[in-house]
Structure 1
């Protein structure tokens, strides 16, 4: 097992609100946002926390502001065009846009609310190329494209016949998005293609590359920041797979076990096994093409390398949480700094040594 972290991580707790997701600001290297829910997201309110990194303080982190919502929050994404705005995905199916400069005494109200999803909205992602656009996905099976200036969504993609757990823009190609679902598939869409009038029960409205990535639910995905055709996925089967989209030839067995498992015509470039329970989040490093972090229901965050020829693909284990680790995210500015959040209501920020 990799050596323990020294010194201990910076941390802050939010009693009564279990964490689902965290995001680093693309404008400020010391600002984070946390999406959280009361009662572990099963019932009750949600809360958005704005957190500052203050290494000189007692715990190293400070909660600057919080916004309460009527339903649990499952994800958060900072705006790429306005440094003080961010979008959240809510359990009631709504997408809310907040401005952190609005005084809490003015009512904590979002500056805009969209409510087109008919089931839980589980993921939001802001395009880092087409910066006036973001998207959300829902348990109803759809992906929706939004712009803050419009009252309605720009596009609806009937993506899957099952829950869509995450959908992300490609960081390299502005019109390409990927999604993962409870149906075990990874799908890649070109949002420029016309959308059919077919209903969500027939999700073939757009040209899509479909990868049967797992025999069980896929809970998370992430695009590699340096290799534009590489995507990592993780889910209930406890395995992280890295796919080369150029190599996908459908028809092979996607669910075979062992180091060569998960291959579809040779598309599976890496097979990372070691988590004891489901993988809830994967996040590629924005500073190194071969490094990614994963958060799991086994209460750990692990760091991996996909570099060939190394003694072990597992570089580090962070086991400072006492409940499901639901999120992990690398700092966009400070190389090697990682944040993790969990159902123990605790946010950790640390620099793993590997």
Structure 2
């Protein structure tokens, strides 16, 4: 376990670089994101510790971060002032660009991974999702349909111009950017949904995490009921992430201070519960380069890097 402490900064989101195995970014906020400013941290892990590479301050809370999929130095962050910022670790003291079309907090930002595409999607409390090219000059599309806060927007790793979003309205939606249309609206939970993620191995599988304490796994070809419902958390689920190394393994973190690991193909899907934070766990990611390494961040002012024993037991090699 490696730990980085960020005094008076409460972690909301963490993401490992798609290029550099030891680099990660964390979006954090003062005063639990309720008031105050935000900090974007770029960190490197060494053999023994986690070091600060650089940090930037922003005038409002920062709630999500995403690395560019084409430039190892560039990352995007979403702010409480409705802004989307583009930052460059190489040389900039100020953001490269700032877009401010959203009228309320930007709670979600994601960078497309499919070939031949270089797009950013943002989700906001103003109930819209917006699609951008990296110039951030003006949005390419504004997608409306959710009747509540948009908490999470995630590109399909398989289908160009397609992303999923979840909202306070209890729906999971799948969008076609070219048509600027919602292709599928699933009443996935009866309460607010705070997170979603696509399976890395199957274009039809999406997971949702909700205030109802459940993670649901959906097959988009048949959405009458979830493929699996994963129960165990005792408070709202803040983020869900599929493993990049195993088709049916995913992780979830929660306001119950825990991170849980699941294999939804098993009769007893809960693999492990990790309890190493003393506050809400809001950010979670798998390292794409180091098998089974996990990074999380919490309102307890720490970022933690670890390898859960349940993922290294030899049970979960990459399956396809």
The reply to whether TM is greater than 0.5 is: yes
CA distance in 1: counterparts of 2:296 and 2:105, whole angstroms: 23
- Asked whether the 8 Å contact 1:10–1:55 carries over to 2, the reply is no
Residue 194 of structure 2 corresponds to residue 246 of structure 1: no
Q: Hey, which bits of structure 1, 4+ residues long, moved more than 3 A?
A: none
How far apart in 1 are the matches of 2:182 and 2:199?
Answer: 22
For the residues of structure 2 that align with 1:74 and 1:25, how far apart are their CA atoms? 17
Distance 2:136 2:167 in 1: 28
The runs of 5 or more residues in structure 2 that have no matched partner are 311-320
Within the candidate set 7, 15, 18, 1:23 is matched to: 15
With the length of structure 1 as denominator, give the TM-score of the two structures.
0.86
Deviations 1:210-238 (CA, angstroms, capped at 9, x unpaired): 11011110000000000110000011000
Q: Deviations over 1:45-71 (max 9, x none)?
A: 000000001123xxx111111000000
The structure with more radius of gyration: 1
**Which protein is richer in strand relative to its size?**
2
Q: Which runs of 5+ in 1 are unaligned?
A: 1-8, 196-205, 249-263
The equivalent of 1:259 in structure 2 is none
| Equivalent residue number for residue 313 of structure 2 | none
Alignment of 1:263-302 (within 5 A): 264=224, 267-302=225-260
Which secondary structure state, in structure 2, belongs to the residue aligned with residue 63 of structure 1?
A: strand
Q: How does 1:1-354 map to 2 (within 5 A)?
A: 9-56=1-48, 60-102=49-91, 108-129=93-114, 130-193=116-179, 195=180, 206-248=181-223, 264=224, 267-308=225-266, 310=267, 312-354=268-310
What are the superposed Cα offsets for residues 63-112 of structure 1, whole Å, 9 maximum, x if unpaired? 11100000000000000111100000000000000001115xxxx21010
Number of residue pairs the alignment of both structures matches: 309
Alpha-carbon distance between aligned partners in 2 of 1:137 and 1:268, rounded to the nearest angstrom: 24
- What is the RMSD computed on CA atoms of the aligned residues? 1.1
Q: If the length of structure 2 is used for normalisation, what is the TM-score?
A: 0.95
User: How far off is 1:159 after superposition?
Assistant: 3.3
TM-superposed deviation, 1:150: 4.8
